[in-house]
Chain A
Amino acid sequence: MDNNSEQKPSNFGIHRPKENPNKGGSLSEFLPQLENYSPTIPDAVTCYYMNSSGLNCADPRIVRLISIAAQKFISDVANDALQHCKTKSSANPNVNKNQKDKDGKNPKDKKFTLTVDDLAPALNENYGIKTTQMKYLT
């Protein structure tokens, strides 16, 4: 291993393409913004779950960071489920029984319901999470 001079930190001779320096930096810039942030999950609840895992929540920014990360995951799952739902609804063309009375159900006005039928494939395809659905209880 070839050590560079002591002046700058060495790469041990391994030269890598310069990566985006802002990748980690953007997050560190984001950190001060977290101080006044109010996430969807209250801090106290996140703190409780962190305590149950053994992590102390002295720094509120860490708390919010974790809660944001978890939120984002759920949001992504929900968005994927929505996509599934939309594709399913568009795959089955809705027959308008009476065009005078009702408007055709536009995607804009349509109300979506999150069901396990949409959730399961979304989880399975994108995240590899398999959910079992109990049809009935014996």
Chain B
Amino acid sequence: MNDSRRKIMKEAVCLLVSEAGFSTATEESLETLTEMLIGLTCEIANQTRNYAELAGRTQSVVGDVLMALINMGIGFKDLDKYALRENRPMARNMNPNQAQKPLQILQAGTKPSNPVHIPSYLPPLPDPHAYVRTATYKQPETEYESIREKSANQKRDIEKALTKFLAKTCAETHNLFDNEEVQMFPLIASKPTTVPAYLSALNPLDQIFDFEELEYYYQVANRKPDNDEVESEGEEKRENENEEREAVSPPKKRKNKKSDQKKDSDTAIMRPPSPPVDQKPQPLPQEEEKIIDNPFLKLKKTTITS
């Protein structure tokens, strides 16, 4: 029994029966009366409609209701007296509790009425400020000029920051001023290589397909203990970033020649992939005078920062 309307009808029957004077009633009798009430309502409504349609109307009038009652034999003369009798029981409030309206103080703007397809008993739509869209990001720049400018600025900033970092932490530095004590503008010392810089551009390069294979090949190539082939090594395989490594490796090998060869050569072989910056200060100062002929590349003696 989930018919809510039937329950309400039964409730009305109970009210009427109790008003008549009964204090209790059996379930059966109440059900009977409920059934009668529902049936009577439907029948009056049906006959009212029929009389209205008989008169050529679609909307029913009081006269239709009266005709229906007369037709059914129900008297209506005392209907008004009955309706306005005292102490009549009232039906319960059918409207559910109105939901607490949120504070209207913070209402921004006037709320437009609901669209037609939305029934009125649904909760209201939010205030119009909920529909306002505010972009949280700026429109990205698409102008070529500004982008170029930005990228140039970024590049310069990166270079500046990096050189500063390197100069202050690990690399050898030249000082801008003659005064050795003041290290305001440190510059990273340039390490001249054994081979000229333009050689890498002149030598033909194989296309690199597999970097790991390249690494292996490099190790294989470096495994030769002979130092005579330093230059041939440099000619065989040349990459831009390996220039410095090659500069490191021959002096290392010369150094290692003095000590035990195989062990250190192995370790020397393993070292090239790691950044060679750390090892540079040790071998280079000894060999510098031997390698460099160019007067422009002669270094001034500075404090070596590790």
Q: Which residues of A contact B (CB under 8 A)?
A: 23-24, 26-31, 33-34, 37-46, 48-50, 52-56, 58-59, 61-62, 65-75, 77-79, 81-82, 85, 111-116, 118-119, 129, 131, 133
Contact = CB atoms under 8 A, between A and B. Distances in A.
B44 A30 contact: no
A78 B23 CA distance: 12
Given A70-B37, A78-B33, A55 B46 contact: yes
B62 A65 contact: yes
Nearest to A64: B83
Given A45-B8, A113-B26, A27 B41 contact: no
Nearest to A39: B91
B92 interface: yes
Main secondary structure of the interface of B (DSSP, over half): helix
Nearest to B30: A114
Contact of A40 (B30, B45, B61, B89): B89
B36 A77 contact: yes
Given A27-B76, A116-B32, 7 more contacts: A59-B59, A65-B65, A73-B74, A74-B36, A75-B82, A81-B29, A82-B20
Interface string B45-66: 1101100100000111110011
23 contacts: A30-B79, A37-B83, A40-B90, A42-B91, A49-B5, A53-B43, A55-B46, A56-B60, A58-B59, A62-B65, A66-B65, A68-B82, A70-B40, A70-B41, A71-B12, A73-B37, A75-B20, A78-B22, A82-B22, A114-B25, A115-B28, A119-B32, A131-B32
Interface residues of B, number: 57
A30 B83 contact: yes
B79 A27 contact: yes
Nearest to A63: B45
B269 interface: no
B291 interface: no
A68 B92 CA distance: 16
Contacts of A82: 20-22
